[in-house]
Amino acid sequence: MAVYTDITDAELDAFLAAYDLGTPLAFKGIAEGVENSNFLLETTTGRYILTVYERRMKEAELPYFLDLLAWLAQHGYPSAAPVANRAGKTLGHIRAKPAAIVAFLQGMSVRKPGVQHCREAGEGLARLHLAAHGYPGRRANALGQDAWAPMFDGLKSAAEDLKPGLSAVISQDLATMAAAWPMDLPQGTIHADLFPDNVFFLDDKFSAAIDFYFACDDALAYDLAVCLNAWCFEADGGFNVTAGRALIAGYERHRPLSAAERQALPVLAWGAAMRFFLTRLNDWGSTPAGALVKPKDPLEYERKLAVHRAAYQGGQGLILFADGAS
């Protein structure tokens, strides 16, 4: 959570001159999002979030994300609709960095989701998959299953530093996943990062999803697997089956899973844990001391990997379905 780019009133005025948003009434940097600088912008026409894209964002990819947000808004999904300037463009520049204005969304994320929040998040995810259906933008999942082994090649010593012996365990995991990874599941546009801090609630009901900057094409059920990891583990590392079942039940209210998707969930959840373990391990080693953003502990996902490994190898999966499938 940080504000990396400082914007003066003169820079804001120059940026807003291209928009029909009236005159600014308030402008405050907000601590939301990790990768970008975000500002609350209030004008005579309403409230907005201005985002300045920093660091990791490739400008060439931004239209994919902004067009997706526009598509979702047009299809009734509660996400932040981009605001176009008078030239019809949703992407501009401030201080030579790409910048965009989106609608302000009410709602608050929850730190410790309860079972009801998991059910709501599942509903929000399924609605996203349905609303995104037909979106013409394409983006490969740069952090998908085929990327993990090459990524881990550069992280073996970091894994050993984290926990001696871990490198061999992860290598074996990756080999097992590569052999077992399902290739024929229903594909679509996925959020790929729908953690609790990216979901807003109002009155404990799902109200909006934010931060679509990992969105890509992949198996829809993989998105659900990401959520199982992000929403349904207890602080002590245990998987909360009740929360997991609620998440899936919420999802299936809008989009029932196929038998193949259910069957695949254990390996998808294991793989989803691998994806976040690998990026956290990478960030852990490469974030300079004193940086504004504190890297997330890769051990959290190392423990989730262990849970999924045991469930997969034991053949029982996560016991998510009454019929025994996964």
Name the residues that contact a second copy, by CB under 8 A. Answer: 1, 3, 8-10, 23-32, 40, 42, 104-112, 202-203, 289-292
> What are the E-state strand segments in the chain?
24-30, 37-43, 46-52, 92-94, 97-103, 187-190, 199-202, 205-209, 216-219
HSE-up (13 A, CA, CB side) for residue 261: 18
Q: What is the CA radius of gyration of the chain?
A: 20
**In terms of CB distance, is 49 or 318 closer to a second copy?**
49
| CA torsion through residues 316, 318, 324, 326, sign | negative
Buried b (16+ CB within 10 A) or exposed e, 101-124: bbbebebebbeebebebbbbbbbb
CB of 121 to a second copy, least distance (A): 14
**In terms of CB distance, is 111 or 138 closer to a second copy?**
111
CB of 134 to a second copy, least distance (A): 31
Whole-number Å distance between alpha carbons of 78 and 60: 25
Q: Is the CB of residue 121 less than 8 Å from the CB of residue 199?
A: yes
CB of 120 to a second copy, least distance (A): 14
**In terms of CB distance, is 202 or 241 closer to a second copy?**
202
Whole-number Å distance between alpha carbons of 5 and 36: 9
CB of 211 to a second copy, least distance (A): 14
Q: Is the CB of residue 264 less than 8 Å from the CB of residue 145?
A: no
Classify 63 as helix, strand or coil: helix
**In terms of CB distance, is 7 or 221 closer to a second copy?**
7
**In terms of CB distance, is 52 or 265 closer to a second copy?**
52
Q: Is the CB of residue 229 less than 8 Å from the CB of residue 304?
A: yes
CB of 58 to a second copy, least distance (A): 26
CB of 115 to a second copy, least distance (A): 16
CB of 91 to a second copy, least distance (A): 23
**In terms of CB distance, is 96 or 289 closer to a second copy?**
289
**In terms of CB distance, is 42 or 160 closer to a second copy?**
42
